[in-house]
Amino acid sequence: MAKPKVATTSLAGCFGCHMSILDIDDRILKLIELVDFDKSPVNDIKKFTGRCLVGLIEGGCCNEENVRVLQDFRAHCDILISVGDCAIMGGIPAMRNTIPLKECLDEAYLNGPTVYNPTKTIPNDEEIPLLLNRVYPAHEVVTIDYFLPGCPPPADTIWEALTALLSGKPLTLPYQLIKYD
Amino acid sequence: MNDRFAFTIDGVEVQGRPGQTIMQAADEAGIYIPRLCSHKELAPHGSCRVCTVLVNGRPQTACTQPAGPGIIVENSSEALLAIRCNLIEMLFIEGNHFCMFCEKSGNCELQALAYRFGIMAPKYPYLFPTRELDASHPDIFIDRNRCILCGRCVRASRDLDGKNVFQFVGRGPRKRIAVNAKTALADTDAARADKAVSACPVGAILRKRVGYGIPIGQRMYDAAPIGSDIEAARAHPHK
């Protein structure tokens, strides 16, 4: 039987949650025995090669590309897991949600105290994904099956969750592993 | 004492005294009823509704409802847990609760209740309201992004500090905590040692220059859920 496949992505996140995945230490060797990695920054596979059992989502959606990637994950993965506070509630990027987008861009590219921008242009190339009006948690864009809170979630949380799902057991985390920070 | 009377919480017999609320009698018996706006040193407020229990089948806030002989209290049914989870989740989506950089994280009662209830993510969409911050005072600040309108600071400042620094203004979604001064917190007689500051269950009123004082792992709710201290006092544990 072919090993189940796991895909991961970092949307509007800082890659800290991916660091936490790597932080399972030598258990990563066990994980490789249990699963194959499909699309993921870990192996740099850019496109889905087929159906995946689990998709791990780091980060919320701050631009249109994030939305497309997230929808792609939903289409290819049986189980989608929001990993970390950014996927769950927007996290640090969502601090801009109480400020109009134009004000954010003006501050970043025109008015900020360290800005050098003689042409007074705000980047608007079609190669650059369009920013959304605000940062959206993953579950406000697609259906998410499980949530692993934390900033980042501890490696043990990710390990417990993955091994439970792979062995078909219900996902119940001990009190000490549910943390929002 | 002779004036003691008996009633039950989840089928367990509990002793109450005249004048006690259900919550006070439960605390003495080592039964934890979740709460947020209630504070041991403050008069009950009954506003957060987290301590809602069924008294003879009717919903009542345990922090305000007097205990009485023979009453039947239901505290830990699935239905009540669902109500409490919803309340906590609504408080999370209604404000801007960025736990990842909040100095109160690990010692926050709102967060601790979410942990105790095993809430992994709120089921409601986040509102991301615009809320004001007041850092004018040299020693304390108000971050209304985190305020849950429990009114503990209002009661503590009025009844314990004797200062009346805080009060609610506005109604509905515009309700917020205001200070008793023309412009800002700096113009009040609020002080660093005020009970109003330590009474805040979340990170809305904090002392400056404290930062992340306690290492992760040693904070109040890192190892054991909120209410464990009350439950530990229970002499005869029941399932």
Q: Which domains does chain A have, with CATH numbers?
A: 5-95+133-177 (3.40.50.700)
What is the C-alpha to C-alpha distance for residues B185 and B166, in angstroms, rounded to an integer?
9
* Whether A95 and B98 lie within 8 Å, measured CB to CB: yes
Cis-peptide into A113, omega within 30 deg = no
Q: List B133's β-bridge partners, or say none.
A: B143
Contacts A98 to B, Cβ<8 Å: 96, 128-131
Nearest chain B Cα distance for residue A69, angstroms: 21
Number of H helices, E strands in chain B: 6, 10
* Whether A180 and B111 lie within 8 Å, measured CB to CB: yes
Which amino acid belongs to residue B54?
Answer: L
**Residue A169 predicted with pLDDT over 90:** no
The CATH-assigned architecture of domain B84-207 is 2-Layer Sandwich (3.30)
Check: CB of residue A7 under 8 Å from CB of residue A143. Answer: no
Q: Which of B199, B34, B216 is nearest to B118 (CA)?
A: B34
Which residue in B92, B99, B120 is closest to A147 by CB distance?
Answer: B120
Residues of chain B with CATH 3.30.70.20: 84-207
Q: List B134's β-bridge partners, or say none.
A: B142
Residue of B nearest to A98 (CA): B130
DSSP string for residues in B143-205: EGGG-----HHHHIIIIISS---EEEES-GGG-EEEESSSS-GGGS---TT-HHHHT-SSSSE
**Residue A157 predicted with pLDDT over 80:** yes
Q: B124-163: per-residue pLDDT in tens?
A: 999 999 999 999 999 999 999 999 999 999 999 999 999 9
Nearest chain A Cα distance for residue B58, angstroms: 31
Q: A47-86: per-residue pLDDT in tens?
A: 999 999 999 999 999 999 999 999 999 999 999 999 999 9
Mutation target to probe the A interface, by most A beta carbons within 10 A, among B100, B117, B132, B144 is B100
Contacts of residue B162, defined as CB under 8 A and 6 or more positions apart, other chains included, come to none
Listed by number, the residues of chain B in 120-149 with a beta carbon closer than 8 Å to a beta carbon of chain A are 120-122, 125-126, 128-131
Query: What are B141's two structure tokens?
Result: 């600040």
Which residue in B118, B128, B225 is closest to A98 by CB distance?
Answer: B128
Over range A6-25, report the average pLDDT.
96
pLDDT of residue B1: 53
pLDDT of residue A131: 96
Orientation of helix A155-166 relative to helix A27-34, angle to 10°: 30
Q: Could you give the count of Cα atoms lying within 13 Å of B84 in the half-sphere of its Cβ?
A: 28
**Residue A168 predicted with pLDDT over 90:** no
Name the helix (H) or strand (E) containing A6.
strand A5-10
Q: B2-27: per-residue pLDDT in tens?
A: 689 999 999 999 999 999 999 999 99
Contacts B96 to A, Cβ<8 Å: 97-98
Q: A71-127: per-residue pLDDT in tens?
A: 999 999 999 999 999 999 999 999 999 999 999 999 999 999 999 999 999 999 999
Judged by a CB distance cut-off of 8 A, whether residue B102 touches chain A is yes
Three-class DSSP category at B73: strand
**Which residue numbers in chain B have pLDDT < 50?**
238-239
Judged by a CB distance cut-off of 8 A, whether residue B98 touches chain A is yes
* Whether A85 and B99 lie within 8 Å, measured CB to CB: yes
Residues of chain B with CATH 3.10.20.740: 5-76
pLDDT of residue B239: 41
pLDDT of residue A2: 85
CATH numeric code, B5-76: 3.10.20.740
- Supply the ipTM of this predicted assembly: 0.93
Contacts A149 to B, Cβ<8 Å: 120-121
**Residue A19 predicted with pLDDT over 60:** yes
Which amino acid belongs to residue A10?
Answer: S
Judged by a CB distance cut-off of 8 A, whether residue B100 touches chain A is yes
**Residue A181 predicted with pLDDT over 50:** yes
pLDDT of residue B233: 80
Contacts 24+ apart (CB under 8 A), A143-146: A143/A74, A143/A80, A144/A57, A144/A80, A144/A81, A144/A82, A144/A87, A144/B121, A145/A79, A145/A80, A145/A81, A146/A79, A146/A80, A146/A81, A146/A82, A146/A171, A146/B120
Query: What are A28's two structure tokens?
Result: 């990563």
